[in-house]
Amino acid sequence: MISANNNIKHKLIIQVLYSTGLRVSELQSLRIDDIDFNRRSVFVRCGKGKKDRITVISQTVLNNIGKYLLEYKPIKYLFEGYEASQKLSTRSLQKVISCSAKMAGIRKGVSPHSLRHSFATHLLENNVNLRYIQSMLGHARLETTQIYTRVAINKFSDITDLL
């Protein structure tokens, strides 16, 4: 989806959603100063349940954010709408994802939340502790995060025979 898209802003939206596990509303509210380039982290203000949290972000994505900031010069939010200092609409974000999926030849329905699921599943497949994943996703209950253990079934083949 990323390489199929030519728009730097659209590519970056996909990259940020995938590399942080943010919800759409959290991405809309993401301020430039919520990104800690030194610690490779993102501060999520008032996520679901009005809770703050911190999540990770890829160094590659941070580098791309730097380039994006130079070109687009947003004022307040990382991704602004047509008017400066205004949040990008939910519908615009959804269209970026669905159009990018079509350009990439993906026939399945893809939503911004699909990228959040991919983030969590890939962390789990890379042996990241479930409690850390819970914290990064902002889940109040571990049971909610444990749903991803059912999705990450391809790791079963990596389990060695105990005998």
Give the per-residue pLDDT at 43: 97
Give the per-residue pLDDT at 32: 97
Domain residue ranges of the chain, discontinuous segments joined by +: 8-158
The catalytic position among 9, 40, 48, 117 is 48
pLDDT tens digits, 28-79: 999 999 999 999 999 999 878 788 999 999 999 999 999 999 999 999 999 9
Question: What is the Cα 52 distance to its own chain's centre?
Answer: 16
On whether the 8-158 domain is CATH 1.10.443.10, my answer is yes
Q: Which amino acid is at 160?
A: T
Give the per-residue pLDDT at 127: 87
Q: Decide if 113 is catalytic.
A: yes
- Judged by DSSP in three states, 8 sits in helix
Q: Decide if 23 is catalytic.
A: yes
The catalytic position among 45, 51, 95, 113 is 113
- pLDDT for 158 beyond 80: no
Q: Decide if 82 is catalytic.
A: no
Q: Decide if 139 is catalytic.
A: yes
Strand arrangement, sheet containing 53-56 = 35-36, 41-44, 53-56
Give the per-residue pLDDT at 51: 86
The catalytic position among 18, 68, 77, 148 is 148
The catalytic position among 10, 11, 23, 87 is 23
Q: What is the 3-state secondary structure (H, E, C) of 64-119?
A: HHHHHHHHHCCCCECCECCCCCCECCHHHHHHHHHHHHHHCCCCCCCCHHHHHHHH
- pLDDT for 26 beyond 80: yes
pLDDT tens digits, 78-90: 999 988 889 999 9
- What's the token pair of residue 144? 């909610």
- pLDDT for 160 beyond 60: no
- Judged by DSSP in three states, 129 sits in coil
pLDDT grade for 151, boundaries at 50, 70 and 90: low
pLDDT tens digits, 102-139: 999 998 899 999 999 999 989 988 889 989 999 999 88
DSSP-assigned letter for residue 15: H
Question: What is the Cα 98 distance to its own chain's centre?
Answer: 15
Q: Decide if 53 is catalytic.
A: no
